[in-house]
Amino acid sequence: MDFNSLIGLMDKEIELYKQLRILYSDKKNSLIKNDIKSLKNIDNQILELISKIKICETKRLKIAGDKFNNISALINYAKIESPEYLNKLENQKIEINKLAKEISHLHKTNLELIKHGLVLSDKTLQLIIKICREGNRNYSSSGFSKFNTPISTIIQEA
């Protein structure tokens, strides 16, 4: 097994995950600021990064083989066959796990912000509808005021 190539690919994956973490943080800030243009751009960048990560993962699995489909399996194999790579692999595993937790937390935060925005939008819409319904009670079906109010001078002049 070519551990140098695997480690190189895993380093590249880690860098991509770091970029992904930054984008999720930027997305959170865009959601808070309600910056839709920025949000669309960030979402496109996230999708692009995820594609790059999948490509790296596919290459890594091709080099490592199906029975080494996770880092723990590679570490166990390195303990026996190539102990000189063990420390690097263990450090990569720690880094990937740390990044995964941070990205997951940011993703959950972003989902909560989106949910909150939807609830706020729904409440605002319900309030507007309620006001419109109550406002309609002041007018007849033909659109005339039910109250004896003088006609506006603008209407009189027209």
- Structural domains in the chain, sorted by start: 3-138 (1.20.58.300)
Which of 106-115, 116-125, 135-144 is predicted least confidently? 135-144
* Structure confidence at residue 143 (pLDDT): 59
35, 40, 45, 46 alpha-carbon torsion, rounded to 10°: 90
Query: For the residues 110-124, what does the mean pLDDT come to?
Result: 91
* Structure confidence at residue 158 (pLDDT): 47
Where residue 95 falls among pLDDT bands split at 50, 70, 90?
very high
Residue 150 has pLDDT above 60, yes or no: no
Instruction: Give the CA radius of gyration of the chain.
Output: 29
pLDDT above 70: percentage of residues in the chain: 85
Mean per-residue pLDDT over the chain, rounded: 87
Query: For the residues 65-71, what does the mean pLDDT come to?
Result: 82
6 in Cβ contact with 63 (< 8 Å): yes
Q: What are phi and psi of 149, to 5 degrees?
A: -110, 145
* Structure confidence at residue 152 (pLDDT): 52
Cα four-point dihedral sign 111, 112, 113, 118: positive
* Structure confidence at residue 128 (pLDDT): 85
Which residues contact residue 40 at a Cβ distance below 8 angstroms, ignoring those fewer than 6 apart?
A: none
